């Protein structure tokens, strides 16, 4: 370990002023003689000089720092998103700092404050669940933020700031249509956590579509899930008892759980029961089950979110957060065909 070298030291060693050294090392258009340039660069390399970005940021008024706050980095969806966003940022010369809010609103607040303290150029935020139910706090903080903010995935209506996410209702609809087309007439649906707006919207789209196709309410079983493997596993018996010929799960993990239980019960998939999941996490995790599922294109989400934020940064956008007219971009999910959906038994 070694003391940190400053620009002044490089300048001294190269027998020039700091200004000259700065000009050269930043490749600024100037008419410094070639020999001098070379000398400065050589010294800088020899001394392992690295510019102090904080000091630089102080004067240039931009840190080229972007922060990302995710509720849970252990969640594969957020982990993938982080990776994609990091790539986007890097491509544009920004550095991304990832942080974890543990889905805790207090921590989220603290992180945001910390990041503002670090003078970030922009914030990508996936809000905690709590911030859904009580938006006031978050809203205030966003309005008081000195940097642009884009909300991702968990969209909290457009009156706060710009947001990019998926059309969850459409996702539910796609699942419903697929099953209806396959001739199913008796449905089951496992929801996510109670307060997960996204999961609820998926369900809503699913049920709405069934209703529009005049499926009677008593042919539909809705069960509370927990977004986890056990949620699907535990619900499977009820689904079977109900005599459903198909099942829509608000995420893949629950679908896997249900499949596991069905297998134990000797129920064949898709022969006896068809299953659709959500997320296509199965593929990402490297499992081999070819689950029919609704996929959300994570890299598109990342790309769009970044572009949205970047626009604001470039326009030096000092008045968009909390404006009346904010952009809300809804990306379309896609149904991915696997091996877990078949024609309804009665039609065969």
Q: Is the dihedral of CA 67, 69, 75, 78 positive or negative?
A: negative
The entry of its own copies, DNA, none that residue 348 binds, CB within 5 to 8 Å by partner kind: none
Our CB check for DNA shows the closer of 62 and 327 to be: 62
Query: For DNA, which residue of 1, 27, 31, 324 counts as binding (CB under 7 A)?
Result: 31
Give the closest residue to 112 by CA, choosing from 314, 308, 301, 321.
321
**Binding to DNA in span 46-85, by CB under 7 A:** 51-52, 55-56, 58-61
Q: Where does 47-185 have alpha helices with state H?
A: 53-60, 76-91, 105-117, 130-133, 135-143, 168-181
Name the minimum Å distance from CB 110 to DNA: 18
Query: For DNA, which residue of 1, 2, 33, 266 counts as binding (CB under 7 A)?
Result: 33
Give the start-end residues of each E strand in 117-232.
122-125, 149-152, 163-166, 187-190, 220-223
User: How many angstroms separate the CA atoms of 56 and 29, rounded?
Assistant: 18
**Binding to DNA in span 34-53, by CB under 7 A:** 36-37, 51-52
HSE value, Cβ hemisphere, 13 Å, CA-based, for 92? 19
Q: Based on C-alpha coordinates, what's the Rg of the chain? A: 26
Which stretch in 29-37, 78-86, 265-273, 300-308 sits in contact with its own copies by CB under 8 A?
78-86
Name the minimum Å distance from CB 144 to DNA: 15
Which stretch in 8-16, 120-128, 300-308, 324-332 sits in contact with DNA by CB under 7 A?
8-16
Our CB check for DNA shows the closer of 118 and 194 to be: 118
Query: For its own copies, which residue of 145, 196, 292, 340 counts as binding (CB under 8 A)?
Result: 145
Name the minimum Å distance from CB 17 to its own copies: 21
The contacts of residue 172 (CB under 8 Å, 6+ apart) are 201, 202, 203, 204, 205, 206, 207, 208, 209, 248
Name the minimum Å distance from CB 115 to DNA: 15
Q: Is the dihedral of CA 235, 240, 246, 252 positive or negative?
A: positive
Our CB check for DNA shows the closer of 28 and 348 to be: 28
Our CB check for its own copies shows the closer of 115 and 187 to be: 115
Q: Does 26 bind DNA (CB under 7 A)?
A: yes
The entry of DNA, its own copies, none that residue 230 binds, CB within 5 to 8 Å by partner kind: its own copies
């Amino acid at each position: 370990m070694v003391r940190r070298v400053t620009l002044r030291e490089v300048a001294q060693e190269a027998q020039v002023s700091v200004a000259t050294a700065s000009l050269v090392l930043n490749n600024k258009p100037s008419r410094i003689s070639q020999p001098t340039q070379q000398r400065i660069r050589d010294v800088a390399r020899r001394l392992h000089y690295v510019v102090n970005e904080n000091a630089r940021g102080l004067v240039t008024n931009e840190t080229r720092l972007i922060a990302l706050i995710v509720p849970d980095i252990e969640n594969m969806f957020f982990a993938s998103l982080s990776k994609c966003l990091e790539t986007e940022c890097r491509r544009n010369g920004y550095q991304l700092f990832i942080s974890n809010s543990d889905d805790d609103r207090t921590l989220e607040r603290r992180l945001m404050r910390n990041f503002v303290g670090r003078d970030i150029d922009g914030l990508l935020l996936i809000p905690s669940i709590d911030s859904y139910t009580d938006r006031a706090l978050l809203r205030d903080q966003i309005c008081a933020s000195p940097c642009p903010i884009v909300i991702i995935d968990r969209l909290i209506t457009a009156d706060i700031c710009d947001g990019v996410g998926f059309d969850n209702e459409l996702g539910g609809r796609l699942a419903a249509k697929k099953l209806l087309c396959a001739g199913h007439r008796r449905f089951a649906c496992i929801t996510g956590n109670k307060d997960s707006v996204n999961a609820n919207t998926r369900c809503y789209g699913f049920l709405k579509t069934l209703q529009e196709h005049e499926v009677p309410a008593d042919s539909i079983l809705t069960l509370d899930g927990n977004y986890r493997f056990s949620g699907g596993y535990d619900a499977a018996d009820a689904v079977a008892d109900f005599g459903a010929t198909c099942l829509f799960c608000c995420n893949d993990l629950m679908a896997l759980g249900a499949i596991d239980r069905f297998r134990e019960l000797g129920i064949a998939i898709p022969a006896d029961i068809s299953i659709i999941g959500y997320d296509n996490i199965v593929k990402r995790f490297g499992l081999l089950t070819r689950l029919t599922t609704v996929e959300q294109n994570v890299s598109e989400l990342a790309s769009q979110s970044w572009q949205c934020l970047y626009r604001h940064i470039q326009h030096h956008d000092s008045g968009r957060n909390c404006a009346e007219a904010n952009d809300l971009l809804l990306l379309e999910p896609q149904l991915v065909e696997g091996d877990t959906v078949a024609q309804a038994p009665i039609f065969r």
